[in-house]
Amino acid sequence: MNRNQIVGRAIALGAATFYGFNTTLSRLAYDTGTNPVTLTLFRFLLSTALMLLLVMALRKSLRLQVAPWLFAVCVLGMFATSIGHLGAVKYIPVSLSAIIFYTFPLLVVAWKRIARREPVARRELVAFVLAFAGIGIALGPEFHRFDPRGIALAFGGAIGSATFILSYEQFPPQTDSYVATLWIMIASVVFACLPFPAGFELAFPGQSAGWLYIAAISVASAIAFVLSLKAIASVGGAVFALFLNFEPVIILLLAWMALGEDLTTARVSGMALVVFALFLSHWRARRVEAQVI
């Protein structure tokens, strides 16, 4: 494994960490009176403003040489991820939402194997399965609120995330991650406005804390998104998707440190299994070339 691959994995862990802030902050924002479409719109608006300032400060060219259809698919996938992942927790427990959403790494590797006929190392496939099992053990999904809207949003988010990863993987190698993030955010603002003509209404937070949560989500999202694009370009979509399984570990740690939630034996065991799965994948890449399916 070369230095770029090691750095790419570290960047993927960084992306997972910042994404981990979003779920908890979204739950807190909904408690102040906002809704998924409002949160999504303002998240993209503020993230766009931040990225525009950054691109201008770095004096980067705004030109993005990507096929229009590929760009559209990438944006649609990212928007579905946001509205699905952050919206599902309004209707179903966070743990159940996360279990459904985190099927996306398996969707990525399945698509690469079946549709693209790319070889998948056995040890890598085991790492994917172990990571998903670890999330299931750590979160211990609750079924007392089984709302079809939440189920649909969570699974739609999983499909969107897999679509985003697989499509961005096809972007030209010279694509600048900052400029790509800016244009994807701008296009996502347009997508975020589409629900309103259909009857959806803005629901502003009823407390000032709600706006602080939205601002924090926007900053964390912008950072996580830039790191995501860098990681995909460095280590590929499958490895990036695998390392995003670290996000629930961050969510549980934040809940323990900031909200006082218990770290039960099941949660610690599940978190340890996720970390082991990531180590297993990393060790495979460093030590041996595993048997290919």
Q: Is 89 a residue whose pLDDT tops 80?
A: no
Q: Once rounded to an integer, what is the mean pLDDT over residues 160-182?
A: 91
Of these ranges, 45-49, 89-93, 253-257, the one predicted with the greatest mean pLDDT is 45-49
Q: Who has greater pLDDT, 200 or 169?
A: 169
Whether 278 and 246 have beta carbons less than 8 Å apart is answered as yes
> pLDDT band at 292, cuts 50/70/90?
very low
- Residue 121's φ and ψ, nearest 5 degrees, are -65, 140
Give which of 39, 18, 17, 37 is closest to 28, Cα–Cα.
Answer: 39
Q: Once rounded to an integer, what is the mean pLDDT over residues 59-70?
A: 90
pLDDT over 90, % of the chain: 21
Q: Which segments of the chain does DSSP mark as H helices, in order?
A: 3-30, 36-58, 68-88, 94-101, 104-114, 122-139, 148-168, 177-193, 208-235, 237-243, 247-258, 265-287
Whether 222 and 250 have beta carbons less than 8 Å apart is answered as no
Q: Is 277 a residue whose pLDDT tops 60?
A: yes
Amino acid at 122: R
Q: Is 278 a residue whose pLDDT tops 80?
A: yes
Sequence-distant (6+) residues with CB within 8 A of 288 are 123
Q: Who has greater pLDDT, 124 or 103?
A: 103
Q: Give tens-digit pLDDT for 146-156.
A: 778 888 998 99
Q: Give tens-digit pLDDT for 129-144.
A: 888 888 888 877 666 6
CA angle, 211 as apex, 80 and 206 as ends, to 5°?
100
Q: Who has greater pLDDT, 255 or 144?
A: 255
Q: Which range (70-74, 110-114, 230-234, 271-275) has the least confidence?
A: 110-114
How far apart, in whole angstroms, are the C-alpha atoms of residue 20 and residue 22? 5
Say what the pLDDT of residue 202 is: 80
In the chain, domain spans: 3-287
Summary mean pLDDT of the chain: 83
Say what the pLDDT of residue 14 is: 93
Whether 240 and 231 have beta carbons less than 8 Å apart is answered as yes
Whether 141 and 95 have beta carbons less than 8 Å apart is answered as yes
> pLDDT band at 282, cuts 50/70/90?
low
Q: Is 286 a residue whose pLDDT tops 60?
A: no
Q: Who has greater pLDDT, 142 or 191?
A: 191
C-alpha to C-alpha distances, 141 to 9, 134, 162, 209, 275, nearest whole angstrom:
28, 12, 22, 28, 19
